[in-house]
Amino acid sequence: MTSAGEHKCRPRHTLDGLAREFLNSPLGAESGADGSLSRRLAQYLGDRKLGRIANDRDAFDMLLNRVLQWRDGADDAATGRTRQTRGERR
């Protein structure tokens, strides 16, 4: 039980969830996309009434990095490539 001044707060969106939703949206699709990825992500967030994330540089950068990870990971899975860490490269 929580006291009157204490709130149990759960985030409504996760980084992974937002990144996947963006990549599956028309703005996240790369073919025929106009503008930079970061500009399209900011527009997507604004359209979804999540402008506070777009305006918070740290939060936006974390989300943009997660979008890049998901996008690059999906490319690797589609081509059958595996990622190599710096120590594994020859």
Whether the predicted model's global pTM rises above the 0.75 cut:
no
Under a CB-based contact definition with an 8 Å cutoff, are residues 27 and 75 in contact? no
Lookup: tokens for 89: 């490269």
Q: For residues 79 and 36, what is the distance between their CA atoms, to the nearest angstrom?
A: 24
Note whether 74 and 23 are within 8 A (CB): yes
Per the CB < 8 A criterion, the answer to whether 28 and 22 are in contact is yes
Average pLDDT over the chain reads 77
Average confidence (pLDDT) over 57-77: 86
pLDDT in tens, 44-57: 999 999 999 999 99
For residues 53 and 59, is the Cβ–Cβ distance under 8 A? yes
Calculate what percentage of the chain has a pLDDT beyond 70.
64
